[in-house]
Amino acid sequence: MPDLHPLFVHFPIALLTLFAGLELLRFKTITSRLELFYTKAILVITGTIGGFIAAQAGELAEETYKGGQSMNLLETHSSIAEATNILAIIIAALYVGAWIKRSGKQLPMPQIFALCEKITSSWIMIPAALVLLTAISVTGALGGALVYGPDADPVVSFVYKLLVR
What pTM does this model have? Answer: 0.90
Q: Which residues of 90-115 are buried (b: 16+ CB within 10 A; e: fewer)?
A: ebbebbbbbbbbbeeeeeeeeeebee
pLDDT mean across residues, the chain: 89
Spans of all domains in the chain: 5-163
Residue 4 is predicted with a pLDDT of 65
- Residue-wise pLDDT for 72-98, tens only, equals 888 999 999 999 999 999 999 999 999
Q: Is the pLDDT of residue 5 over 70?
A: no
Mean pLDDT of 98-124: 91
Mean pLDDT of 22-47: 87
Q: Is the pLDDT of residue 2 over 70?
A: no
Q: Compute the distance between CA of residue 97 and CA of residue 103 in angstroms, rounded to an integer.
A: 10
Q: Is the pLDDT of residue 1 over 60?
A: no
- Farthest-apart Cα atoms in the chain, separation: 56
Residue 114 is predicted with a pLDDT of 94
Long-range contacts of 92-95 (CB under 8 A, 24+ apart): 92/44, 92/45, 92/47, 92/48, 94/119, 94/120, 95/40, 95/41, 95/44, 95/45, 95/120
Lowest mean pLDDT among 82-86, 108-112, 132-136: 108-112
